[in-house]
Amino acid sequence: MGQALAALDDHFELSGSLDSDASPSDPKKTLRFRFYPNGKSKSNDHIAAEGWVGPSPDSHQDEFHFRFTIPKSLTEPQIAPSENVL
């Protein structure tokens, strides 16, 4: 069980806040998720998702926003080394 939790901790990070007493100009309802494909211990490259809830400018309801970010190092094609290179 300990090894599984350590592996999950090395690949996933989740944080957030649901502060119901936040002011309308500074909402504190957020959710952050990071996935480290190679593990935090091997690389800082990660895929991130960030969400937040705030007032809608068009109505009296809250809106939920979600944004994903992927670093270039994870989206660029990996060049395999040639077998003839020393």
Over range 63-75, report the average pLDDT: 79
10 vs 59 pLDDT, higher one = 10
DSSP structural state of residue 8: H
Report d(CA 10, CA 38) in Å as an integer.
Answer: 9
pLDDT at residue number 20: 65
Locate the DSSP E strands across 1-86: 12-19, 28-35, 47-55, 62-69
Closest-CA residue to 52 (of 71, 27, 15) = 27
For the chain, give the mean pLDDT.
Answer: 79
Question: Is the Cα dihedral 39, 42, 44, 47 positive or negative?
Answer: negative
- The CA-based angle 39-42-46, given to 5 degrees, is 50
pLDDT at residue number 85: 47
Over range 50-61, report the average pLDDT: 81
pTM of the model: 0.60
Report d(CA 7, CA 44) in Å as an integer.
Answer: 15
